Structure 1
Amino acid sequence: MQVPSFLKQQADGSLSFEEKGTLIYYVPEVYFEREYAQVKGQYVNLLGIFDWARYDEKGKCVEKVQRFYFPTVFLCKPCRMEKQKNVKLFEEASPNDYRLLIFEKGDIPVVGTDVPEDISNVEDFFKIFLISGKMSNTIPYDKLQEYFFDSIQLNGSDYGINAQMFGIVIGGLAKKRGDPTTPFRYTKMDNMHDYQFISIKDNPKYISPYSSLESENWDTALIGLTTLNDESQAGSPMERLLMGFDEEG
């Protein structure tokens, strides 16, 4: 990770904020709910996949929202935290609930640049991307695969596969924003933020009634069986099968 000009590296390896005003980490609240981020006294231990922005002393944005790109776990020491709900970080971003980690001059946004290698960090990364269904669309679609490879490398290992394998996963879970039945790759893709990520557990119900039936979540499987159908039909074939309807209804 390249060190920004407004941070200064200290002798102990930490990075301190040395500008007037504030630096704010916008950490999705779901990180704290699912313990991908944890408050430990004065410190916060979190996965470095979130957005940040910088403001002057009057609260005016002097550096627009940007991605914090360090896909492993690290410590920071904010001076305070705030919660904000239903925030849109920029025009294309989906609204989200955030925990704001606020740093003022002299605070420590990164406690140490040499972080320990731990494969459980990669596990948390996979949980955020693939299972939570809460992945922010602030990351451009065409950059998503980079996170998978950098995360495993920062934690001292290698998948031993090529990027196309993750392209298959991303292509299946990234949907057109507002329409989870349509993969984003089927759109014009003229805006790399105009997608939404869904959980790998929920994905089958948006593919077909049969895929929904085979999924692990029976409640959502039933919903998929009876709602995912051709608009020209009165109900899905699976609905007729489960309810015992004949061809004439």
Structure 2
Amino acid sequence: MSGILDGKRILVSGMLTEHSIAFHAAKVAQEEGADVVLTGFGRISLVERTAQRLPKPAPVVELDVTSPEQLDALAAKIGEHVTGLDGIVHSVAFGPRGVFDFLTADWDDVGTAVRVSAFSYKDLVMACLPLMPRGGSVVGLTFDASRTWPHYDWMGVAKAALESTNRYLARDLGDRDIRCNLVAAGPILSMAAKSIPGFGDLADAWEQRSVLPWDLKDPEPVGRSVVGLLSDFFPRTTGQILHVDGGVHMVGA
């Protein structure tokens, strides 16, 4: 039986463990017929072990999204595994601990958060552009930046920058037939979540406000939505944010 990504070549960035959204995006992409290449940073041996747990082991390319040298070499390294790309998943975000205190954060910490979480979206896509001569789909992960959240503080500002970046990227790459969209996911109990002070308050908010059941330990619904946007089922959708949050974004007080 054919899948919705049959024959497509997908780059998934930011995977670390089986609990990450990126892992489930890669897993569902493979189940739907895609060839997947992964990028990882820092704990590469852990990323490589996690890659072995996918339905089909996937190659891992080391990438620091703040390194111009590694970004310049990325297309060639991906080219060692696939002849081109049809899709990119950007699941990269980081903020030093200082960004989680809005009034006392300094620019060095905030600048790091914005660079890694927002500017890298543009940098990753531009690094891969030579591999996408026939167009394709780019999907990033955000956490709804249209409102404030407990403790999220400057990371929320960084996500707002990511959401704006997505719109401008969609505008400028449309003539290359490249679609750029984001998935606004509800909270998932991942390694990244553990670094957010007060994450439990966000989790409690979802239990109270979600109109659909929300499982903090299940990233697969988000992964499936990412794969849907990577597929050809949204051929003229770009610059959009798809909410996969159990409906919390639409609920008032």
Fold match, TM over 0.5? no
Name the one with the larger strand percent: 1
Larger RCO of the pair (alpha carbons < 8 Å, separation 6+): 2
TM-score bin (small chain): under 0.3
Name the TM-score, length of structure 1 as normaliser.
0.26
The structure whose Rg is larger is 1
